[in-house]
A and B are shown apart, each in its own frame.
Chain A
Amino acid sequence: MKLATLAALNAERAARRPAVLVSDIEGGGERLVKAAEAGGDPLAADVAEALRSGRAASVERDGKRHFLNPHLPPPRLLAVGAVHITQALAPMASIAGFDVVVLDPRTAFATPERFAGVRVVAEWPDEFLAREPLDAFTAVALVTHDPKIDDPALERALRAGCFYVGALGSRKTHAKRLERMTAKGFDETTLARIRAPIGLPIGAASPAEIAVAVLAEAVGALRRKPDVAAAAAA
């Protein structure tokens, strides 16, 4: 393998852009196919499948064996609201392999003391997300209870095609949220992607238990709906 190819792959990965390394195991040689260029590749269908499933596989085409190894960005979790639930959710999600960011403009909540070892950002969602945009490999959990903070993040999450969007609040709160989002021009199909009330229905009683329910729901969205990469590549 050429060092230059590996360097190019690492650059794509660092930028959170999906790519597939296509290798000729028997004859030697490989090429890097970036997701944005996947349609023009001679093995376009196989590359698309690798991006969709996230699984490495060998295929035989025109009498040659090719090994396709997809590299998808690691899942991120953006927790909007540096609240009690998030204090349990952030470390658990880190252990589960998510890159975690906690976002809350309220400086009394978003303190490093409350979130040891986690990236905490004390900014408004529009400020932060303009700089570090959401993508299809990001899960968003909205837990502030405050539409001023939650809604701007929700809009961006829906537009970015985040693989998981969960919003805290009762059915009544959620009905109002849907009204506001409808007024913003979102259609029913898009709004149906919001998981609310947030978390799997396990009867969670404490903030930590709600965090378990949210994390499990996010993992389910990641692993059981493998069309994340396809959305990103589209």
Chain B
Amino acid sequence: MAQESDDVLRAAQDWATAGRGVALATVVETWGSAPRPAGSHLAIDDSGNFLGSVSGGCVEGAVVEEAQQVIADGRARTLEFGVADETAWRVGLSCGGRIRVHVERLDT
């Protein structure tokens, strides 16, 4: 989904170049009626600023939170959200879909 991730990837590059800690989250798999297709991006910096979307607003909060850990320790993580998952329910992915989101740090 190149069209919609334009600013996100550019911003991630700019943030990292400016010396900020940056993580990039990518939807790597979807099942059912997931709101954003695989390949969608969310860029997060070490102050919790973010740009883009992996779920149309449902789970971004949780991803941003997890991204802080990724930026801190550099270990990539894959998160799964879905209606069957209690966490996902809590964070609001009630739209009936399930998604897997890969979060990794941008390393210079």
Residue positions of A touching B, CB distance < 8 A: 1-4, 6-7, 9-10, 13, 23, 25, 28, 54-58, 67, 69-75, 97
The size bracket of the interface on B is 20 to 34
List, in ascending order, chain B residues with CB within 8 A of A56's CB. 1, 27-28, 37-39
Q: Residues of A contacting B37 with CB < 8 Å?
A: 55-56
- Please name the residue on chain B nearest to A30 by beta carbon: B104
CB <8 Å contact, B2 and A70: yes
- Indicate whether B78 reaches chain A with its CB closer than 8 angstroms: yes
Looking at the complex, which one of A4, A58, A72 makes contact with B2 (CB distance below 8 Å)? Answer: A72
For residue B2, which residues in chain A have a CB less than 8 angstroms away from its CB?
A: 13, 54, 70-74
Chain A min CB distance to B37 (Å): 7
A28 to B28: give the CA distance in the assembly, Å.
14
- At the interface, yes or no: B47 with Cβ under 8 Å from chain A? no
| B16 adjacent to chain A (CB < 8 Å) | yes
| Contact of B9 (CB < 8 Å), options: A13, A25, A57 | A13
Q: Which of B13, B24, B39, B107 is the most central at the interface, judged by chain A CB atoms within 10 Å of its CB?
A: B39
Give CA–CA (A174, B91) in the complex, Å. Answer: 57
Output the nearest chain A residue to B2 by Cβ-Cβ distance. Answer: A71
A1-B9 contact, Cβ under 8 Å, with A25-B28, A56-B1:
no
